[in-house]
Amino acid sequence: MLHLVSVGGLSLFGAVAATAAAAAAASTSNCSSAPVTLHLPDAPYDNFFYSDCNTAVQVVVTTPQPDSDLATISPRFIAAWPAGNSGIAAYFAPQDGANNGSLSIQIVNSTVGSPLAAIYRDDSSGSTPYFGVTGTLRFNSSASLTTPILGSIRTIRDFTEGASVLQPQIQDAIQASSLPDGGAGLQRLWLDNVTTTHLNFTPAATNGSVTIGDDNQTLNFDAGDYIFAAEFNYPQLTQLSPAQVLSNSSASLIQNDPERTAALSFLSYSNKLLAGAWRFLTYFGRDSMISALLLEPILSKGENSATEAVIAAVLERLDRVDGSVCHEETIGDYATWLNQGAGVVSTDPQYDYKMIDSDFYLPILMNQYFVQNSVGRSRTNSFSSITAGAINPANTNLTYGQLAVINAERILGLAAPFAGPDNQTQANLVHLKDNEVVGQWRDSADGIGGGRIPYDVNTALMPAALRAIASLSRNGFFTSSSSDWSSLADEYAQVWEDETLAFFRVTVPQSQAQQLVSTYTQTIAFTGPNQIDSIDGDVVYHALALDGSNNQSQVLVMNSDDCFRHFLLSNSNSNTNTNTTTDQTQLTLFVNQTANNIRRTFPAGLLTDAGMLIANPAYGTDPSYVENWTTGAYHGTVIWGWPLAMMAKGLEQQLGRCNQQGQQPDFCVDTVVYNNVKQAYNMLWDSIEANTAQLSQEVWSWVYNSANESFVATPLGVMAPPPGQSVQTESDIRQLWSLTFLAVTRNTTFGSS
């Protein structure tokens, strides 16, 4: 169920003092256009979005369902802002001592909001105004607000996804105070000694009341309706409207697909695009670049465009010392806390450079824009000459062009050892950074099974980045670099493209594969068919990584990461003027094995009624595979939206190569292989189209319904976490890179079923 509503310009001025708060009063907004709101139910979570000319905010209310695991699901209210990656979380419990499943909380339409309205009021000191949101919260029984968190989404994430630890320095600053009309509120002064967050509740009727607990940090409520007001005085971001995010030629999407374009707008700002709502309302380099690559046909181009916002955001945050791309920024209250922990009194952002895959997306994206797009080509000189701003103080004296060169030099330096004569050894592949256990998109603790040498980085991202550097160099982008980068990078790319797959290739003989799948099915007590009859030959796939845990030379988990190579190295998305694959035998085997693994249903392959799985551990013999890749694991036997989009687009591009005159790969004339790939493409799209309700989410899981003999899509947050993980990771209701289906659509040239 989905509601898209444009409401009138109702705003709320909550007159709140530092020690007490007065009653809020409605007033006309100063915005010239009506705000946009989204209501996205996804039980047990109910999501509301509000954005206008002043602010953007997401509110999430959690109410346990009859089948909820009360160890992981509890009544909760969250307000999350992109500005400062800021947030409020309030956990509730029934006052009568009953279990959490007896307490229901919900946001209801009222005279205050339909269901939400904005707060915007000037601060009496003349500093930053207060921004926020108000609405009516309904309790079905008496309740207590037991745990408040005010300040940063990162602080909330640490509590919800970690060991439920809260920092006394942050929590002890929360204070409660009484309000007029029987209300009460919580407030906290941030560590910057400037910003204050308020969360206030006022009874909507005369028979309700809010009282303060003995600890002066908790609140007690009678059953009934309460007007809440959540606000803080922190500078807001400049949001891009749907019309500003999309190209002129794609403007019809605003009317034809209003929900997804509104969600894309909510995550898009003038100086960066955000990864997801609510947990990742900040810059993530990998996420924004993958999104821009897949959204390219519809994303706005030119000065002040969404495309340039993505590229500029990455360059601004680049590590000028070694050319690494920032994975995640830490801003706002959490940055101040980290700085204090390091003995520094500062509100400056902090940048995370532990990932290795992010580095390679930058030249790929720049080549797509500054070489392959006519608008981008016209912007090359102007964009390259822009000097980095104050986002990252370390880069303020460097131009975007200089920062791009630093990144390219890093990639060429990493590529050189493996590309050298007779140097194609495992030791010369790209490894995770020292002392890091994650480094690419499967960045949970067991995402790549402890592997040190990731599959996607070495077989796809490195050669694609090298192709892009060669193309950018040929087209004069690196004006200050050596003129031989075009030939050198292409030479390196060919070696990496042709020689890396063999290190990761896994071949399981048919009989052994059938036995492994049969045993795995029994081990996990899977109630569906084991699908071993579909294993009609040797099973071939590529390991997630090399040098895994428990002395595993290869991490033996079938996976969806073939999509990177199909999308980034297919000729129709080429970064060079020649056919990018000279090893035709390898290409034929590669596209065929991908098709086989997509066509086969889990547990024999990757396909389910709920979508294509990102991992299938059935072919691994170590017990850790069953334990770590589960339906409740963040990177387990689950479905992510964007790999569906990248695989679909990648297979389309591979099939499209067969229509190119004079450049057809050998697999195009192999009828068996070509038809196999085409069938896999259509089966994948059938699955995608059957799960449109989930596609814009970050990740979802499944349960098997024996009665219907089907896999049923299920929110990840309600699944039991893997052994040893006490708290389940919650999925974002809207994720930037999952919105790429706005641009990735089925190509009926290759059939519709």
Q: Residue 572: pLDDT above 50?
A: no
Q: How far is CA 435 from the centre of its chain?
A: 24
Residues 173 and 251 in one domain: no
Predicted confidence at residue 670, as pLDDT, reads 97
Domain membership of residue 451 (yes or no) is no
Burial of 513 (0-12, 13-18, 19+ CB in 10 A): buried
Residues 228 and 253 in one domain: no
Domain membership of residue 677 (yes or no) is yes
* Mean pLDDT along residues 621-645: 96
Domain membership of residue 301 (yes or no) is yes
Tens digit of pLDDT for each residue in 167-215? 999 999 999 999 988 999 999 999 999 999 999 999 998 788 999 999 9
Domain membership of residue 623 (yes or no) is yes
Residue 566, helix vs strand vs coil? helix
Residues 220 and 279 in one domain: no
Q: Residue 660: pLDDT above 70?
A: yes
Predicted confidence at residue 553, as pLDDT, reads 97
Tens digit of pLDDT for each residue in 316-365? 999 999 999 999 999 999 999 999 999 999 999 999 999 999 999 999 99
Name the more confident of 717 and 386: 386
Domain count, the chain: 3
Tens digit of pLDDT for each residue in 231-271? 999 999 999 999 999 999 999 999 999 999 999 999 999 99
First and final C-alpha spacing in the chain: 27
Residue 14, helix vs strand vs coil? strand
Alpha helices in 541-659 (DSSP H): 562-569, 584-599, 623-628, 641-656
* Mean pLDDT along residues 132-160: 96
Nearest-CA neighbor of 626 among 709, 548, 521? 521
Residues 228 and 271 in one domain: no
Give how far Cα 652 sits from Cα of 11, 294, 362, 617, 744, Å: 47, 13, 23, 27, 10
What is the value of pTM for the model shown?
A: 0.94
Residues 200 and 280 in one domain: no
Residues 670 and 712 in one domain: yes
Residues 283 and 213 in one domain: no
Residues 307 and 418 in one domain: yes
Contact 12, 27 (CB under 8 A): yes
pLDDT band at 581 (very low <50, low <70, confident <90, very high): low
Name the average pLDDT for the chain: 92
Residue 678, helix vs strand vs coil? helix
Tell me the C-alpha distance between 723 and 445, whole Å: 12
Tens digit of pLDDT for each residue in 44-98? 999 999 999 999 999 999 999 998 888 889 999 999 999 999 999 999 999 988 8
pLDDT band at 127 (very low <50, low <70, confident <90, very high): confident
Predicted confidence at residue 730, as pLDDT, reads 85
Q: Which domain holds residue 667?
A: 504-750
Residues 664 and 732 in one domain: yes
Residue 697, helix vs strand vs coil? coil
Domain-ending residue, one of 381, 396, 428: 428
Nearest-CA neighbor of 236 among 49, 10, 56? 56
Residues 714-751 as b or e (16 or more Cβ within 10 Å = b): bbbbbbebbeebeebbbbbbbbbbbbbbbbbebbeebe
* Mean pLDDT along residues 27-31: 60
Residue 578, helix vs strand vs coil? coil
* Mean pLDDT along residues 731-736: 95
Residues 244-258 as b or e (16 or more Cβ within 10 Å = b): bbbbeebeebbeebb
- Residue 2, amino acid: L
Predicted confidence at residue 578, as pLDDT, reads 42
Contact 173, 189 (CB under 8 A): yes
Q: How far is CA 33 from the centre of its chain?
A: 30
pLDDT band at 308 (very low <50, low <70, confident <90, very high): very high
Q: How far is CA 219 from the centre of its chain?
A: 34
Predicted confidence at residue 90, as pLDDT, reads 98
* Other beta carbons within 10 Å of 662: 5
Q: Residue 576: pLDDT above 70?
A: no
Burial of 529 (0-12, 13-18, 19+ CB in 10 A): middle
Q: How far is CA 218 from the centre of its chain?
A: 33
* Mean pLDDT along residues 18-32: 44
Backbone phi, then psi, for 189, in 5-degree steps?
A: -85, 125
Give how far Cα 237 sits from Cα of 52, 272, 480, Å: 11, 10, 34
Tens digit of pLDDT for each residue in 592-624? 999 999 999 999 999 999 999 999 999 999 999
Domain-ending residue, one of 369, 400, 428: 428
Predicted confidence at residue 15, as pLDDT, reads 31
Instruction: Render 226-295 in DSSP notation, one character per residue.
Output: EEEEEEE--PPP-BPPHHHHB-GGGTTHHHHSHHHHHHHHHTEETTEEEEEETTEEEEBHHHHHHHHHHH
Tens digit of pLDDT for each residue in 433-492? 999 999 999 999 999 999 999 999 999 999 999 999 999 999 999 976 555 799 999 999
Residues 367 and 258 in one domain: yes
Tell me the C-alpha distance between 578 and 574, whole Å: 8
Range in 30-34, 442-446, 518-522, 606-610 with the lowest mean pLDDT:
30-34
Q: Residue 711 is inside which H or E element, if any? A: strand 710-715
Predicted confidence at residue 390, as pLDDT, reads 87
Residues 254 and 166 in one domain: no
Q: Residue 14: pLDDT above 80?
A: no
* Cα Dmax for the chain: 82
* Mean pLDDT along residues 574-584: 58
Contact 5, 693 (CB under 8 A): no
Tens digit of pLDDT for each residue in 670-708? 999 999 999 999 999 999 999 999 999 999 999 999 999
Total residue count of the chain as it appears in this document:
753
Residues 55 and 134 in one domain: yes
Predicted confidence at residue 97, as pLDDT, reads 82
* Mean pLDDT along residues 584-596: 97
% of the chain surpassing 70 pLDDT: 93
Tens digit of pLDDT for each residue in 396-438? 999 999 999 999 999 999 999 999 999 999 999 999 999 999 9
pLDDT band at 29 (very low <50, low <70, confident <90, very high): low
Q: Residue 157: pLDDT above 70?
A: yes
Domain membership of residue 336 (yes or no) is yes
Domain membership of residue 717 (yes or no) is yes
Tens digit of pLDDT for each residue in 42-59? 999 999 999 999 999 999
Q: Residue 24: pLDDT above 80?
A: no
Domain membership of residue 474 (yes or no) is no
Predicted confidence at residue 7, as pLDDT, reads 34
Domain membership of residue 62 (yes or no) is yes
Q: Residue 663: pLDDT above 90?
A: no
Domain-ending residue, one of 168, 203, 232: 232
Nearest-CA neighbor of 141 among 116, 178, 105? 105
